[in-house]
Homo-oligomer: A and B are copies of this chain.
Amino acid sequence: MTKGRLTLPSETNFLEETKELIERWGADAIRDSDGTKLDEQIKSLPAKIYTTYFVARAHNEFAEKHPEETQQLYLLSDRITAVNSSVTISFMKGFLKEQIKPDYQNDAKKWWEVIDRTSGEVVPTTDWELEKANDQVIIHQAKAFHEYTVSFLAYMIWDPTQMYNHITNDWGDKAHDIPFDVRQPYSNHHMKTYLKQWLKDNPDTDVVRFTTFYYHFTLFFNDQRKEKFVDWFGYGGTVSVRALNDFEAEKGYRLRPEDFIDEGYYNSTFRNPTAAYLDYIDFIQAFVAKEAKELVDMVHASGKEAMMFLGDNWIGTEPYGKLFESIGLDAVVGSVGGGATLRMLADIPHVRYTEGRFLPYFFPDTFHEGNNPNIEANENWLTARRAIMRKPIDRIGYGGYLSLAYKFPYFVDYIAEVADEFRDIHDKIKDVKPHTVLKVAILNAWGALRSWQTHMVAHALWYKQIYSYQGILESLSGMPVEVSFISFDDIIASGVPADIDVIINAGDAETAFSGGDYWENTELVTTIRKWVYEGGGFIGVGEPSAIHKNGQFFQLAQVLGVDKELGFTLSTDKYFTEVKTEHFITQDTKAFDFGEGMKNVYALNADTEIIEYSNGEVHLSSHDYGEGRGVYIAGLPYSIENSRLLYRSLYYAARKEEAFEKWNTTNPACELNYYPEIEKFALVNNTMDSQETVYFDGQGNRFEVTLEPSEIRWEEI
């Protein structure tokens, strides 16, 4: 049994059991949670103490004194049809008044916008009036049967995370945390003086766990107290009159409400970001980094460590942004939903360590009689372990009520095993570069800024429209390849990075992930065509490079050898439907699963290798393009089989098939990670069943092996 690298949640009146579990799991840190506190005796145990710290909420005594410094956001009313020349918009309809309060302090005529959504025109401020008494805007001289909206500035008078917990757990009349904006003078002063004192008052705290800094991702509820809108990446909650003025002073132009409202899309990451929105992200990022640095410096000055939680009020920290390093954080902690979210944490640069909060939470939904929490724990660990084998986080931890978990002795045993296995992996491969044959770049409008964050709406949640793309990152997270994230602008500015073997472009048409009107840029398309022609591999998933223009939909149709029928070329006969039943890519595939798939994709000519064709459509194909190749996949939900299909597609696209039977396994349920620097390799069984596989060493020699359920087996060279 080994020790360390594990954080235990604890609670009051749980001293002896905490001691026992510190011992059993080798924990070296203890944390509080939302709803649990640590008592003095626990704080004096021989372990680091993490203390959750809220910077910009949970200080209502202060916040209530400065309502003008409450955080703000821009919101869009319902779309109301004018049936005659006057139309009244009750703009608060559908919003939760407990959370949202219109800003009647600042001049609505200056800061709000009424828009004719049929013509797209802004209604002159002389043509509408605000009736504050009943939260209405009345538009005069409306055009009949045009649809109108009000974009209004509001105060957010309830912190979204506390609101969520409060409503979900029925906290009754517990006070609502008012989030305040540290861009404002009193708030800024308060947060600093408060922290200064707090650091003095909490000598037992070793690690200040910021949860998080200043701005929550966009989350607001409806008048039924249910979620109305959630965007884990949303900058909606960062806005204020002061921020807008500061922005104008700094960037030299003024933002409009519409820069935030964005036709009701609120700058979803699925939208190609506008130049103004990117400027705004930079602007907020700079502010957050500068202010967070001050807090972190204070923490350091007090001899403690500063850790941030990647979630809740993380907006503006941008762990993959240019300014993150300047904050000077010691650590980042985040929740691990699978391999992709693990890599989102593990790959964060410029911190000394990263910590993953694993599933299941110690909550009654899992820890109740008749349920075996080991199953969820095992699944979570297997998906995370795949990713850890490529890039380890430095610590693991859990959350919730330790007393609940304690009632399940076999769970306690299982976590003890996981902890040992994690420490063993970490000891062996931390800072050891794993062997890779291929370098893969995910290409989209966001690039590195959204590393491991593509196709995500709310953290790790499933949506019908995204799961067929999310499988790509989940597959890559544990695959023996190097992964980077590049943007269209990167390619336009500097070409394809020299060391990339395969580019993946995946997403629905028009989205920022497939690229939409970026593909009208001839520099972009010719650069990629040339790069593939000279030997690069391009994998398109869904509607890659899609924009209807110049007689085609996929602008890289000639590279991929397929395009999508939109109805305009039905007159042209489509003869190419014959499937290559034996193909390198599908050698391990028994049944296809393209998830939502894609309709009406067809092969352009006989040169296209059709690998799967059904329902009158191509769902998987490859096409030689000069020295390179273009592979098309209709969709790739995560599964072990699809992960292998993608892995083979990468080799095929890169024309490195001959390297496939080196440092590899024949059974897709098993993976082999090789670490040349330490002259070891690991055979990993990613399933809860026993698996037989052949594996290949670096010379291609074959070995047979049987791996126990979930086994990881280390071998020396």
Residues of A within 8 A of B (CB): 79, 81, 83, 117-120, 143-147, 218, 222, 226-231, 234, 263-266, 268, 270-271, 457-458, 463-466, 507-511, 522, 525-527, 529-530, 533, 548-552, 558, 565-573, 575, 596, 599-600, 616, 626
Given contacts A264-B551, A600-B465, A616-B464, contact A118 B525 (CB under 8 A): yes
Q: Which of B81, B218, B551 contacts A265 (CB 8 A)?
A: B551
Distance in angstroms between the alpha carbons of A457 and B268 in the assembled complex: 39
Given contacts A228-B573, A573-B230, contact A81 B566 (CB under 8 A): no
Distance in angstroms between the alpha carbons of A472 and B573 in the assembled complex: 25
Contacts of A227 in B (CB 8 A): 573
Distance in angstroms between the alpha carbons of A144 and B599 in the assembled complex: 32
29 pairs of residues in contact across A and B, judged by CB atoms under 8 Å? A81-B533, A83-B626, A118-B522, A118-B550, A119-B522, A120-B550, A144-B526, A145-B525, A145-B530, A146-B522, A222-B573, A229-B572, A234-B571, A263-B550, A264-B572, A265-B569, A266-B571, A268-B568, A268-B570, A457-B570, A457-B571, A464-B616, A507-B567, A508-B567, A509-B566, A510-B567, A511-B567, A596-B599, A599-B599
Report whether B525 and A571 are in contact in the complex, using a CB–CB cutoff of 8 Å: no
Distance in angstroms between the alpha carbons of A21 and B596 in the assembled complex: 57
Contacts of A522 in B (CB 8 A): 118-119, 143, 146
Report whether B526 and A570 are in contact in the complex, using a CB–CB cutoff of 8 Å: no
Distance in angstroms between the alpha carbons of A599 and B600 in the assembled complex: 13
Report whether B572 and A228 are in contact in the complex, using a CB–CB cutoff of 8 Å: yes
State how many angstroms separate the Cβ of A232 from the closest Cβ of chain B: 9
Residue of B nearest to A81 (CB): B558
Report whether B218 and A571 are in contact in the complex, using a CB–CB cutoff of 8 Å: yes
Which of A118, A143, A145, A525 lies at the interface centre, i.e. has the most chain B CB atoms within 10 A of its CB? Answer: A145
Report whether B117 and A550 are in contact in the complex, using a CB–CB cutoff of 8 Å: yes
Report whether A81 and B508 are in contact in the complex, using a CB–CB cutoff of 8 Å: no
Report whether A573 and B83 are in contact in the complex, using a CB–CB cutoff of 8 Å: no
Distance in angstroms between the alpha carbons of A549 and B571 in the assembled complex: 29
Distance in angstroms between the alpha carbons of A549 and B550 in the assembled complex: 21
Residue of B nearest to A78 (CB): B605
Report whether B533 and A143 are in contact in the complex, using a CB–CB cutoff of 8 Å: no
Given contacts A510-B548, A558-B81, contact A526 B567 (CB under 8 A): no
Report whether B575 and A226 are in contact in the complex, using a CB–CB cutoff of 8 Å: yes
Distance in angstroms between the alpha carbons of A526 and B83 in the assembled complex: 10
Report whether A565 and B526 are in contact in the complex, using a CB–CB cutoff of 8 Å: no
Distance in angstroms between the alpha carbons of A497 and B222 in the assembled complex: 42
Residue of B nearest to A520 (CB): B120
Report whether B567 and A270 are in contact in the complex, using a CB–CB cutoff of 8 Å: yes
Distance in angstroms between the alpha carbons of A57 and B551 in the assembled complex: 33
Nearest first, the 7 closest Cβ-Cβ pairs linking A and B are A263-B551, A145-B526, A231-B571, A145-B529, A264-B551, A270-B567, A265-B568
Contacts of A457 in B (CB 8 A): 570-571
Given contacts A265-B568, A268-B568, A568-B268, contact A573 B229 (CB under 8 A): yes
Report whether B566 and A510 are in contact in the complex, using a CB–CB cutoff of 8 Å: yes
Residue of B nearest to A221 (CB): B573
Residue of B nearest to A76 (CB): B551
State how many angstroms separate the Cβ of A217 from the closest Cβ of chain B: 10
Contacts of A268 in B (CB 8 A): 567-571
Contacts of A119 in B (CB 8 A): 522
Distance in angstroms between the alpha carbons of A243 and B147 in the assembled complex: 47
Distance in angstroms between the alpha carbons of A458 and B571 in the assembled complex: 8
Contacts of A230 in B (CB 8 A): 571, 573
Distance in angstroms between the alpha carbons of A552 and B149 in the assembled complex: 13
Residue of B nearest to A234 (CB): B571
Residue of B nearest to A616 (CB): B464
Distance in angstroms between the alpha carbons of A508 and B569 in the assembled complex: 13
Report whether A147 and B567 are in contact in the complex, using a CB–CB cutoff of 8 Å: no
Distance in angstroms between the alpha carbons of A529 and B82 in the assembled complex: 10
Contacts of A271 in B (CB 8 A): 568
Contacts of A575 in B (CB 8 A): 226
Q: Which of B228, B463, B527 contacts A570 (CB 8 A)?
A: B463
State how many angstroms separate the Cβ of A462 from the closest Cβ of chain B: 11
Contacts of A270 in B (CB 8 A): 567-568, 570
Contacts of A81 in B (CB 8 A): 529, 533, 558
State how many angstroms separate the Cβ of A45 from the closest Cβ of chain B: 42
Contacts of A552 in B (CB 8 A): 117
Report whether B569 and A146 are in contact in the complex, using a CB–CB cutoff of 8 Å: no
Given contacts A571-B231, A573-B227, contact A79 B144 (CB under 8 A): no
Distance in angstroms between the alpha carbons of A533 and B83 in the assembled complex: 8
Report whether B569 and A264 are in contact in the complex, using a CB–CB cutoff of 8 Å: yes
State how many angstroms separate the Cβ of A231 from the closest Cβ of chain B: 4
Residue of B nearest to A463 (CB): B570
Contacts of A510 in B (CB 8 A): 548, 566-567
Report whether A143 and B228 are in contact in the complex, using a CB–CB cutoff of 8 Å: no
State how many angstroms separate the Cβ of A628 from the closest Cβ of chain B: 12
Contacts of A530 in B (CB 8 A): 144-145
Contacts A117-B551, A117-B552, A146-B526 supplied; 8 other A-B pairs, CB < 8 Å: A79-B551, A81-B558, A146-B522, A229-B571, A231-B571, A265-B551, A508-B566, A509-B566
Contacts of A463 in B (CB 8 A): 570
State how many angstroms separate the Cβ of A373 from the closest Cβ of chain B: 29
Distance in angstroms between the alpha carbons of A501 and B548 in the assembled complex: 35
Distance in angstroms between the alpha carbons of A395 and B228 in the assembled complex: 62
Contacts of A571 in B (CB 8 A): 218, 229-231, 234, 266, 268, 457-458
Contacts of A120 in B (CB 8 A): 549-550
Distance in angstroms between the alpha carbons of A227 and B83 in the assembled complex: 53
Given contacts A118-B522, A510-B548, A626-B83, contact A147 B569 (CB under 8 A): no
State how many angstroms separate the Cβ of A219 from the closest Cβ of chain B: 9
State how many angstroms separate the Cβ of A34 from the closest Cβ of chain B: 23
Contacts of A464 in B (CB 8 A): 600, 616
Distance in angstroms between the alpha carbons of A496 and B589 in the assembled complex: 56
Contacts of A600 in B (CB 8 A): 464-465
State how many angstroms separate the Cβ of A135 from the closest Cβ of chain B: 19
Contacts of A508 in B (CB 8 A): 566-567
Which of A120, A147, A600 lies at the interface centre, i.e. has the most chain B CB atoms within 10 A of its CB? Answer: A147
